């Protein structure tokens, strides 16, 4: 099997050679340009000694060179190890060392210091798509290479990628994906959203992670990817209007920022036919606002680094029906997708839970990870008979709609009651002044754990902790109401924008005597 990151761009170059594949500011690439440039880079990598199966780390930046490089690595038979640009130098160094990367690639001269630092302990060779100190100029070498087709054929089970988790639960873990798994996920995204050559997708999220689903789905369908360096709300709104973007992937934080932006009401967003929100839980209040502003274009589903296909699915019609029915189902991530994936809620011993009962979400699909890089302990704990134990808790209703509860490690046990932070966050988010919130456990001498919340407010609003506490009491059972609420300027987030409850929780458990009292 030819690596799907090599095969599909080449196929697109044959079918749509003159169609624009990439837009990056004033720069453009046709599919033919992209294919030829990637082949030249692949030949340069092989010339430098890259063997099939060897790992190549790339310091991620959203730019044309990233797309060209990941295709080139695949075409040379290498294994992509993306280094999320928002992570620290120490995290990058760990990933390069752990993956035993042969090369570390900087996409421009400004990225060379970061690539050198990441490569130092592992002794990896530093390459750059520019001239720079202590780096091999890969761009110059590629210019001397032929654009004659180069394709390395390997078994479908061959290693294609190692994607490191963003660290929401601790030290990054390497998640592997095979050629066949990557191809299945690409096909599911392209066919599920009916992406075609006339579509324009926005690449404002990190193309190494969730944003990559917009990138690689374009190759399957011959669509255009409009690249932005990051998720700046004004730049996103401008790009949607200027380029008539038809599909965008967002995390809930970005969706809220777009709706809150002063420019939002005056921007023409009518070209959008698919707004896919995922990667983190979305409060029903935010989904309701989005439906009212954007119309019936919302999609959501459940996925994670270990299973990045379409595991569950809820489309526009279901969103509208949920809103008409009172909005309770807007908290769902949809039902098991129509084909390929199977999803179940299971107890600790693997038995299916009854409808309404919380258990661990388990997924069996062609795009789930075949294993964790050099972590047999995680393989034993999370992989069994083709099923992935996701570590996410959830429940399913009588009609098959899945509702996320929380990560297993985030569950709060207070006075013998199980409390899931997501439910409390959903209630807090209904307050009109609340922008974002995070709920977490702190130690309590009487109840074991007590519930605490940190909240940010929407621009131009105000709300006291007392007001928010009283608001929660009207919507939650008494034992679920936070015993303390902190109004803060911002919440800690991972490199991909997920709120880090762990960062909020840890200081309290390092000084247990400071826990809030849990009794009312």
Q: What percent of the chain has pLDDT over 90?
A: 77
Give the predicted TM-score (pTM) of the model.
Answer: 0.85
Question: Rounded distance, CA 428 to CA 288, Å?
Answer: 15
Question: Rounded distance, CA 166 to CA 187, Å?
Answer: 25
Q: In this model, does residue 290 exceed pLDDT 80?
A: yes
Kindly tell me the number of DSSP H helices and DSSP E strands found in the chain: 16, 26
- Supply the DSSP symbol for 216: H
pLDDT tens digits, residue range 352-366? 899 999 899 999 999
Residue 93, CA distances (Å) to 56, 98, 108, 191 in order: 13, 8, 19, 37
pLDDT tens digits, residue range 215-231? 999 999 999 999 999 99
pLDDT band at 444 (very low <50, low <70, confident <90, very high): confident
At 484, list the tokens: 């303390």
Give a three-class secondary structure readout of 254-286: HHHHHHHCCCHHHCCCCCCCEEEECCCCCCHHH
pLDDT tens digits, residue range 319-340? 999 999 988 899 899 999 988 9
Q: In this model, does residue 42 exceed pLDDT 80?
A: yes
Q: What percent of the chain has pLDDT over 70?
A: 97
Contact 427, 472 (CB under 8 A): yes
Q: In this model, does residue 157 exceed pLDDT 60?
A: yes
Q: In this model, does residue 170 exceed pLDDT 80?
A: no
Residue 362, CA distances (Å) to 335, 340, 353, 494 in order: 13, 14, 11, 24
Taking the chain, what is the end-to-end CA distance rounded to the nearest angstrom? 63
| Domains, the chain | 4-20+29-178 (3.40.50.12780), 231-407 (3.40.50.12780), 415-514 (3.30.300.30)
Rounded to 5 degrees, what are φ and ψ at 253? -60, -45
pLDDT band at 513 (very low <50, low <70, confident <90, very high): very low
**What is the average pLDDT across 190-200?**
97
Q: In this model, does residue 158 exceed pLDDT 50?
A: yes
């Amino acid at each position: 099997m030819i690596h799907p990151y090599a095969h599909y761009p080449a196929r697109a170059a044959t079918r749509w050679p003159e169609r624009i594949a990439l837009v990056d500011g004033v720069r453009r690439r046709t599919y033919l340009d992209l294919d030829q440039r990637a082949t030249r880079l692949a030949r340069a990598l092989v010339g430098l000694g890259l063997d099939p199966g060897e790992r190549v780390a790339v310091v991620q930046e959203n730019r044309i060179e990233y797309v060209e490089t990941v295709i080139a690595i695949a075409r040379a038979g290498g294994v992509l190890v993306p280094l999320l640009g928002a992570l620290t130098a120490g995290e990058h160094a760990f990933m390069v060392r752990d993956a035993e990367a042969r090369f570390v690639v900087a996409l421009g001269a400004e990225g060379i210091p970061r690539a050198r630092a990441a490569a130092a302990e592992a002794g990896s060779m530093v390459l750059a798509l520019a001239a720079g100190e202590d780096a091999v100029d890969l761009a110059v070498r590629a210019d001397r290479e032929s654009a004659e087709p180069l394709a390395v054929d390997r078994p479908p089970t061959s290693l294609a990628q190692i994607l490191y988790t963003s660290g929401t639960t601790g030290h990054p873990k390497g998640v592997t994906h095979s050629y066949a798994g990557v191809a299945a996920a690409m096909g599911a995204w392209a066919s599920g959203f009916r992406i075609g050559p006339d579509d324009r997708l926005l690449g404002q999220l990190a193309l190494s992670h969730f944003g990559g689903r917009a990138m690689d789905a374009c190759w399957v369908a011959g669509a255009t990817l409009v690249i932005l360096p990051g998720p700046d709300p004004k730049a996103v709104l401008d790009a949607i209007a200027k380029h008539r973007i038809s599909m965008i992937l967002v995390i809930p934080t970005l969706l809220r920022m777009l709706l809150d932006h002063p420019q939002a009401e005056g921007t023409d967003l009518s070209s959008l036919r698919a707004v896919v929100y995922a990667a983190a839980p979305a409060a029903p209040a935010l989904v309701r606002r989005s439906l009212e502003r954007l119309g019936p274009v919302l999609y959501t589903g459940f996925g994670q680094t270990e299973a990045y296909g379409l595991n569950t699915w809820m489309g526009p019609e279901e969103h509208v029906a949920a809103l008409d029915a009172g909005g309770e189902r807007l908290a769902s991530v949809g039902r098991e997708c129509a084909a390929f994936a199977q999803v179940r809620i299971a107890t600790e011993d693997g038995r299916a839970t009854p409808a309404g009962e919380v258990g661990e979400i388990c997924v069996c699909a062609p795009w789930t990870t075949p294993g964790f890089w050099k972590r047999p302990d995680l393989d034993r704990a999370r992989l069994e008979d083709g099923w992935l134990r996701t570590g996410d808790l959830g429940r399913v209703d009588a009609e098959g709609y899945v509702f996320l509860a929380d990560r297993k490690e985030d569950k709060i046990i207070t006075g013998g009651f199980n409390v899931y932070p997501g439910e409390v966050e959903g209630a807090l988010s209904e307050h009109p002044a609340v922008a974002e919130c995070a709920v977490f456990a702190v130690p309590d001498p009487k109840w074991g754990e007590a519930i605490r919340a940190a909240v940010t407010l929407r621009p131009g609003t105000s709300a006291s902790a007392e007001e928010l506490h009283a608001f929660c009491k009207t919507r939650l059972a008494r034992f679920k109401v936070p015993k303390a609420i902190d109004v803060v300027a911002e919440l800690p987030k991972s490199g991909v924008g997920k709120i880090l409850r762990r960062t909020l929780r840890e200081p309290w458990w390092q000084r247990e005597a400071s826990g809030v009292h849990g009794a009312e």
